[in-house]
Structures are given as structure tokens and as C-alpha cells.
Amino acid sequence: DAGVIQSPRHEVTEMGQEVTLRCKPISGHNSLFWYRQTMMRGLELLIYFNNNVPIDDSGMPEDRFSAKMPNASFSTLKIQPSEPRDSAVYFCASSLGRWNTIYFGEGSWLTVV
Amino acid sequence: DAKTTQPTSMDCAEGRAANLPCNHSTISGNEYVYWYRQIHSQGPQYIIHGLKNNETNEMASLIITEDRKSSTLILPHATLRDTAVYYCIVRSMYSGGGADGLTFGKGTHLIIQP
């Protein structure tokens, strides 16, 4: 079985540009999570969806960040406009049900210059 | 969710058992103990979880004390590929029991020595 698939794996962009990160959860999983990892703050939960509906976005840092889940097999995390402090690894994860084991993708490494 | 305390780093010789401790003295009755690890440049990997009984799978064993205030993750025969940051996470498993998802601390950096 394929795991959580994220794209792009690496992205370098200039400050002010729009960045879109994509995620395909494990087939059949109905909960999806977006995390961000930096050296200073570690792994932080940004937002999670249950059955395609955003349940808690309290971890989203500011209005420049938005996330959508148009269907059960696809989610996006968008940053517009991007800033250097957004440089981090962004992980998508999914689970079968909100309280079951969560499985992570390999991450999208974002560098904003 | 209850807070966990782990040593910052540990060493273990290759081929020996690696025993990683975790303190979770404020754990409540409906909270599970989860272990994940993160190998450099990869996403966190699920290892094992348990409520109060000891658990074993193909990767590791989880020993939870009777009072549930601490636990130990055991990698029975550590290899160089087990070098990673290991996270012990306490997680509520019902609505209203705390935030969904996983709250990661700083974990233990386990270094397997050849």
C-alpha cells in the first residue's frame, strides 16, 4: 500500500511568491493532518480535517496560510505571500478515524529566500 | 493531553537492546502512550502504542508500569539504522479529551554506536 504522498519534496521560492503544497492521504483514511517542523519550534500541528471538513485550524500561524481538502484523496496547504520565516519542513499525515494511529508522509522541504 | 519527559539523548551499542524511558506522571485513564521515531530527513514513523498492557510488535516492545506513570520502549537488537529521534506521546482517544492529532515534544536522540 502506498503511504501518504506529498509533493513537491523540495521547493525553493522567492519571498512574496505563492507556495502550494499537496498531499494524498492513505486510501480509505478520513482524517488528514498538516504539521510544520522547524529547528526552533519542533513539530507543530497546523490544521486537521475529518471527512474533508476542517475541524481545528488553531495552529495555522496567520492568514497567509490556508488549507483545503476538496475530496477524500487530496489536500493542499497554501502560503500566500510566502516569507523567509516560513522555511520549514511541512508534513502531511492521515489516519482512519480521528483517534486512530496517524501515518506521516516524507515531507515537503520549503525554503523561502 | 498529558506532558511527557524524556532524556535528551542516549547511546547504545549496535546489537544490544536499546531501552528508552518516558515519564508521563499526569497521564489519565483514557490516554494512550504512543511512540514515534524520526530518522534524519524523513517523516515521523509510527512504532507502537499501548494503554496499560505491555505491547510487542515487529519493531519494538512497550513496557508500561502498573501505575501508568512511566513507560519504556525497547528495541531488542539495535542497528545503526535505528539512530533517530524517538518521541513518546500521550494521546487522548475520545472526543473532548484533548486536541486531536499528536503533540510532539523534543524526544530522545538515540545514537547507535558501531
User: What's the pLDDT tens digit per position in A3-27?
Assistant: 999 999 999 999 999 999 999 999 9
DSSP-assigned beta bridge partners for residue A93: A33, A104
Residues B79-93 pLDDT 10s: 999 999 999 999 887
Q: Could you tell me the three cell numbers for A5?
A: 504522498
Residues B96-112 pLDDT 10s: 544 567 889 999 999 99
Measured CA to CA, the distance from residue B107 to residue B30 in angstroms comes to: 22
Cβ-contact B53, B66 below 8 angstroms: no
Q: Which of B13, B11, B22, B83 is nearest to B48 (CA)?
A: B22
Mutate to test the interface with A, among B1, B48, B92, B100 (most CBs of A within 10 A): B100
Q: Using CB atoms, which residue from A55, A56, A102 is nearest to B102?
A: A102
Task: Tell me the pLDDT of chain B (114 aa) as tens digits.
Answer: 668 999 999 999 999 999 999 999 999 888 899 999 999 989 999 999 999 989 999 999 999 999 999 999 999 999 999 999 999 999 887 655 445 678 899 999 999 999
DSSP assigned state of B5: B
- Inter-chain contacts counted by CB atoms under 8 A, chains A and B: 46
521515531: which residue's cell? B37
A49 touches chain B (CB under 8 A): no
Measured CA to CA, the distance from residue B43 to residue A107 in angstroms comes to: 6
Contact: A99, B94; criterion CB under 8 Å: yes
